[in-house]
Amino acid sequence: MDTVDALISPQGSLDILTLEEVELLQKSTCSGLYDLFRQCCLAVLNCGNDEDDIDDLLARNKPFEVEIVRQPRGALLQLYNAPASAFVNGEIILGIKENIFAVLRDIVYTHNHLFKSSNKQHLSGAKITNLVFQILRHAQALAPRRTPKIVVCWGGHSINHGEYKYTKQVGYELGLRGHDICTGCGPGAMKGPMKGAHIAHAKQRCQDYRYIGISEPGIIAAESPNPMVNELIIMPDIEKRLEAFVRLGHAFVVFPGGVGTAEEILYLLGILLHPSNSHITMPLIFTGPSQSADYFAQIDTFIGATLGPDAQSRYEIIIDNAAQVANTIHSATQKVAQQRQSIGDAFHFNWQLHIEEAFQLPFVPTHKNMAALNLTQTQPANQMAANLRKAMSGIVAGNVKQFGIEQVRKYGPYCLQAEAELMAKLDNLLQSFVDQQRMKLPSSKGYVPCYKVQ
């Protein structure tokens, strides 16, 4: 594989690093921050190469190194053996350069405000929300004077061509109506809406469009930022990533996907089902081309069987009609603006949304934690959603995250224990994701399940 050595200067917003911060990011230290930064940088440099095998990526780029060169005017980055695809005529692509320094910005900031804190283990509730706000503010993602128009688009990285084309159509229709796009920043359904919106924004001569990509260290290497992202934000973990979506977004569109998409759906529905959020306007649409109708019917059936009809009433399913999706979202975001004004909530951050700690506290997908999940239907729907979300999160980890892959490699598949009736529903849903190749991108290896339901 062709590689490049390069010295690159800061791009985008980056505070000058202290000597202590530079030391923490050196390879010789024991902080673990260097390995995290190296892996995230490698993911950004791999932009545009659609793959989700972190082992292959790390093995293929084993010689890659990054070194921070401190100077009075700011930090320089010395890259060794970087993927040549990130460079043109010897110069790093500007968007990739911006995103590398966004990674540096967020990793250093998060370390200083979370991992150095003596109260890290006790950070919960309102303090977690405040941290999410601070990270977004530091990344300059909060825009107080913009009307509500951020549409969060969720969906799988492993989707077929027809589904991908449809995500671009929806993005195009949203872009014509002036909406910004926020996704998980990866390929597939995270990339398509941004590409479609970009064409529409160009037609409408929009100059301040936003393509926001929110990721986290555990998943960024498996879902490298797509080339359309112009605002990359790295949250500390999946729970804070999900909270950033729902605090920042004004409307939600869900395309076909696998367990990661199911996790996002369960997260949002679980929050909306809490009595404290009954007054919150949160537009949510499931959509795909005609070939995806059965997929959404199955998702809808699973939600009805596990969370109940109240959960089903919180979303609308629109099949094969991109214009209708965009019109519905456009009207709904105007209602969001009216409601935020009436209750005195901010446009740029949804402070009024109540989020239980069950959705905020990090879930570590060890075999013990996965087996201990309460998957019984005697609990309230919002608690059921929280536990099902954790189950899906663990499977995502086993599929694409380094920690989860190592756990499964060492101890075998995760074991989910559920009541017989719920077990059948969960097993059917997960097996459909496997059959439709939604768990991972198709490859010569074939998919080996990282879980079993019993």
The pLDDT-based confidence of 11 (bands split at 50, 70, 90) is: low
Q: Where are the beta strands (DSSP E) in 141-271?
A: 150-154, 180-183, 211-215, 231-234, 251-254
Which pLDDT score, from 0 to 100, does residue 34 have? 84
Q: Where are the domains of the chain?
A: 3-122, 137-343, 358-453
Out of 113-127, 202-216, 259-273, 437-451, least confident range: 113-127
For the 137-343 domain, the top CATH level (class) is alpha beta
- The confidence score (pLDDT) of residue 256 equals 95
Burial of 357 (0-12, 13-18, 19+ CB in 10 A): exposed
Q: Which amino acid is at 209?
A: Y
Render pLDDT for 423-453 as a digit per residue (tens, 0 to 9): 888 888 888 888 888 876 666 677 788 888 8
Say if CB 145 and CB 58 are below 8 A apart.
Answer: no
**What class, spelled out in words, does domain 3-122 have in CATH?**
alpha beta
Residue 420: predicted pLDDT: 82
CA 238 to chain centre: 7
Query: What pLDDT score does 347 carry?
Result: 94
How far is residue 128's CA from residue 116's CA, in Å, rounded to a whole number?
A: 15
- Nearest residue to 395 via CA among 374, 418, 416: 416
Q: How far apart are the first and last CA of the chain?
A: 44
Residue 119's pLDDT band, with cuts at 50, 70 and 90, is: very low
List the structure tokens of 243.
């909270």
Q: What is the pLDDT of residues 291-338, one digit of tens each?
A: 999 999 999 999 999 999 999 999 999 999 999 999 999 999 999 999
Cα–Cα distance measured from residue 276 to residue 2, given in angstroms and rounded to the nearest whole number: 55
Task: Name residue 24's amino acid.
Answer: L
pTM over 0.75: yes
Structure tokens at 336: 């969001």
